[in-house]
Amino acid sequence: MKILVVEDEWLVRELVVEELRDAGFDVLEAANGAEAIARFEEQDPDILLTDIRLPGTLDGWEIAERCRRAKPAMPVIYASGYSEQTRMVPGAVLFNKPYRATQIVSVIEKLTKAASGAREGAR
């Protein structure tokens, strides 16, 4: 599974990326919305983990909406230090900061198991 992590706070991003890689995931990184869309288009990730408030013109809401238009079944996980939940795409998960990187890994493992079970059932 390839995960796109979008987080402008370098330390937070590094901690999450390291934890995901240790768990065996292929991880792509982006620090803002423009980088996130470029990585998405170039690398075709399976899961999106995005902060909501980012520098630049694209926030996490818009990134998720664009990714979902291209891949409607893509799991989305939002992270935010704020309690806003106004534009979540259907089926998304929201983590309030601060969170533990291990929590993200657990949710992604559950999402990937659910996705693989759905693919198996469709065969």
3-state SS of 41-73 is HHHCCCEEEEECCCCCCCCHHHHHHHHHHHCCC
Structure confidence by residue, pLDDT tens digits, 30-51: 999 999 999 999 999 999 999 9
Q: How many domains does the chain have?
A: 1
Structure tokens of 87? 């534009």
The domain that contains 71 carries what CATH number? 3.40.50.2300
| CA–CA distance, 89 with 91 (Å, rounded to integer) | 6
Print the domain residue range for 69: 2-122
Cα R_g (the chain), whole angstroms: 13
Structure confidence by residue, pLDDT tens digits, 61-117: 999 999 999 999 999 999 988 766 678 899 899 988 888 889 999 999 888 776 666
